[in-house]
Amino acid sequence: MCGIAGYIGKKEAQNFLLDALKRLEYRGYDSAGVAVLSDDAILKCIKSVGKICVLEEKLNSNNLSGKSGIAHTRWATHGFPSEKNAHPHGDCKEEIFVVHNGIIENYKKLKEDLEKSGHKFCSETDTEVISHLIESHFKGNLEEAVLNSLVHIKGAYAIAVIAKYDPAKIVVAKKSSPLIIGIGVGENFIASDASAVIGYTDQIVYLEDDELGIITADDYHIISTISNNCVQREHCKIKQDASEIQKEGYEHFIFKEIFEGPEVVKNSFRGRIVDGEGLVKLGGLDVLNQDQIRNINRIIIIACGTANYAGRVGEYMLEEYAGIPVEVEIASEFRYRKPIIDAQTVVIAISQSGETADTLASVQEAKRKGALVLGIVNTVGSTIARETHAGVYNHAGPEISVASTKAFISQIVVLSLLTVYLGRTRDMSFVIGKRITDEIKKLPDLMTRVLKSSNEVEKLAKKYSNYRNFFFLGRKYNYPIACEGALKLKEVASLIHAEGYAGGEMKHGPIAMIDKNFPCFFIAPSDSVYEKMWSNIEEVKARDGKVIAIATEGNEDIKSLADDVIYIPKTLEMLTPLLTAIPLHLFAAYVGIELGLDIDKPRNLAKSVTVE
């Protein structure tokens, strides 16, 4: 959450900064700002409330000429969205400006001490204490002032700092929030993630925790904030291109990403299925000892939000087919428990961004307790990808819409591959392994068939968009999908309340809310629990509830109960979530459009939650 950008070089900084903010807007969009240092050492800052287009209008009517600058798009943690709370934040004389992601836990005490020393504060944010701290230590050398200031700070931060009286550099520092340096020719870049610099450079350096970078137009240096020693780090090559972060003809990113599902599935299993052998090869796990893999006796999956629901699908897969007990934990709670972990416990962290603060903290806690920690991550080179012992990349490509769709699909595919990978080291037969892998390879075509029903889903969205409460119900593999469907509707159509429940739990309380104004989505493919779901539908209909059912093609009987039916093709029970999720994602997006909402950037949400 929140996006940082910075530029220093021979070109006008504003051009890159504005473009970078547009690409980073999914990380925060309640306010934004830019500070640029001109060739004659004039440091100007312009801020606005709202989306980047508002800032762009202000910049068009103000001259911010200069070859270095920093910028920020905000998702509020401290202080209401306003110009005074927007970043960059300046010192008393506005000669030093700072942009910051994270939370300064001791900012109140720092602010009190600085005010006693005569510093005047303009905002309600925690970030402003950083600029004043740097001011209090500044004696002409910016990196020294930043280093001396960081000693006093407790919490998480990624910062970029620019100063009028040390103009040839931008200083950056990181602890628990992501930050990269983009390496150019006669210019260098700073950003929260690689999407901001694609097309400007394909060479980046990841800053690690407790490191400070000194960036000039021609060079950069990294030093440890703990030892003050220089740090040498190899460049990483960005493998994406600019087209991957464009809408490519779609009006909204979320639709582009939903319709990319079949290709995402192909990319997730490409090169990983051993044809004809019922085996899966996961190159990211090759570093592990095979005896260690065979001796796994328990798995704990940690994740947040949508990734947690993918993990719950994986729980059913791994227990039923790999024969390994699995627990799925909300990452934000896992770190505060006292989990029982031994040498045969594996912890699997799932995160699209690879920067989710709670998941990262849980990874670190699991490592401290001696667990083997694996990652299922979409973003190459991200912090979680680097912190885990081994892992599997999703290969879903950049996901720009705040509400996750294609990454969720790819996470389930990877978990199905992992199930075969682990199952075949145990009791899974060749026949079962081959059947699962063969069915996985059919998924792209089956998903394409589901996507062809998008017009029908759009009609349902128009029909039901005036309702303000929904239940989503499923059993077994599709219980997590019910939760995911409810979450998507809450996220994207943020004026609507929705709840996801296990079908059998409805009569233990929630059924009291059912009436003609409380529609229910039933995920009811023709599987091992279909008859149970039929009974649940009858219970709702007996109370005058409206029913929208997701059923398997050929099931005409369900039309006698359901008000509306969406059909999916037949597949293995364990793989049905990959098909049932699609109409639910589409429904949420179409309802959001009916309500006139910005479906790519839902209110109060940010793409990557990098603060606790």
Mind telling me the catalytic residues?
Answer: 2, 607
CA distances from 229 to 7, 172, 213, 224, 469 (A): 25, 16, 12, 6, 57
Q: Which amino acid, 118?
A: G
Two tokens at 391? Answer: 């892992």
DSSP 486-540: HHHHHHHSTT-EEEEEEGGGGGGTGGGG-STTS-EEEE--SSTTHHHHHHHHHHH
Asked if residues 191 and 24 have their Cβ atoms less than 8 Å apart, the reply is yes
Longest Cα–Cα distance in the chain: 79
Structure tokens at 551: 């059923």
| Environment class of 578 (CB within 10 Å of its CB; exposed 0-12, middle 13-18, buried 19+) | buried
Nearest-5° Cα angle at 127, 121 to 128: 20
Phi, psi of 6 (to 5 degrees): -155, 150
What is the spatial distance between Cα 457 and Cα 447, in angstroms, rounded to a whole number? 15
Alpha-carbon torsion angle 398, 403, 405, 409, nearest 10? 90
- Please state, as a whole number, how many other Cβ atoms lie within 10 Å of the Cβ of residue 600: 24
Residue 32: strand, helix, or coil: strand
- Confirm if 476 and 529 have CB atoms less than 8 A apart: yes
Question: What distance, in Å, lies between the first and last C-alpha atoms of the chain?
Answer: 11
Length of the chain: 612
Return the amino acid letter for 350.
I
Q: Tokens standing for 262?
A: 């079949």
- Rounded Cα distance between 565 and 402, Å, is 28
